Amino acid sequence: MCSIERITSKTRKIRISDPKDKDGFREVEVKVWNDTVANLSLMALGTSAPEILLSVIETIGNKFESGELGPSTIVGSAAFNLLVITAICMVSIPKGESRVIKSTKVFAVTTLFNIFAYIWLAVVLLSSTKDVVSIWEAIITFLLFPVLIIIAYIADKNFFLTKNKVGTPIEIGIELANEEDYNGTNDSSVNIIEISRELGKLPNLPEDEAAKMAAATVAQNHPRSSGWYRINATRSMTGSQKLVPQVSKAFANA
């Protein structure tokens, strides 16, 4: 998971025209991977790989017949995520606070495919070819995965869903970047320097604690994927070092 998180968090520097800069442009970092595509492809593969491999190994070793694990392992895990994990996420919200789904269109697409997956599985095993998964059914099931990613990406980018907006685009070389690709953010190192300067003005604050507070502030405002939360939760339960720097309680409210 750490390697997948590193791959999906990769960024690249692009040049944006800026008349105020002496060079006429400035460099900003943007993510190479789209968050929606990363979460539905590499992240999903990384989190589901163990149960998928167990089921595949058992099926091959059992002469392509379902054993004690079989598809029930994957279906049970999906049902657990759908019901239990969703319930925990809802209950864990502190009293008086609320959370908002960032992209409701992508959420709607994944929800529809989630429900359709159970219906399709029932059709395959109970109606079409009872208790048997044929080759054409397996191929269709596999092809539905890239279809999900493509439709979710289209929903994320609002292709064919909104009218053309009139505005001034930001020119990047010979290409054009929309507001979503740019997000108006500079390099995180610049933010750390600015925050460190402000924290340096506070009396009786050690340099190491100021550095931790600056890094924690930047980390809290940085977009995260589902893999990041999974890794951080695992480290918290095992007592390992967390991804977000921990600030001493004595200076937490500084």
Residue 128, classified by CB atoms within 10 Å of its CB into exposed (0-12), middle (13-18) or buried (19+), is middle
Would you state the pLDDT for residue 144? 93
8 Å CB contact between 89 and 107: no
Which residues make Cβ contacts (< 8 Å) with residue 76, sequence separation at least 6?
none
Would you state the pLDDT for residue 53? 84
**Measured distance CA(183)–CA(195) in Å, rounded:** 20
Q: What is the DSSP string of 117-178?
A: HHHHHHIIIIIISTT---HHHHHHHHHHHHHHHHHHHHHHHTTTTSPPPP--PEEETTEEE-
Would you state the pLDDT for residue 136? 93
Distances (CA, A) of 252 to 9, 175, 179, 192, 216: 28, 44, 34, 17, 11
pLDDT tens, per residue, the chain with 254 residues = 566 667 767 778 777 777 777 777 777 777 778 888 888 887 777 777 788 888 888 888 888 888 887 777 777 877 887 788 889 988 988 888 888 887 788 889 988 998 898 899 889 888 888 888 899 999 999 999 999 999 999 998 887 655 555 444 443 443 444 444 444 444 444 455 565 566 556 656 666 666 666 666 655 556 566 666 666 666 666 666 665 555 555 445 55
Q: Is the dihedral of CA 156, 162, 167, 168 positive or negative?
A: positive
**Measured distance CA(223)–CA(164) in Å, rounded:** 27
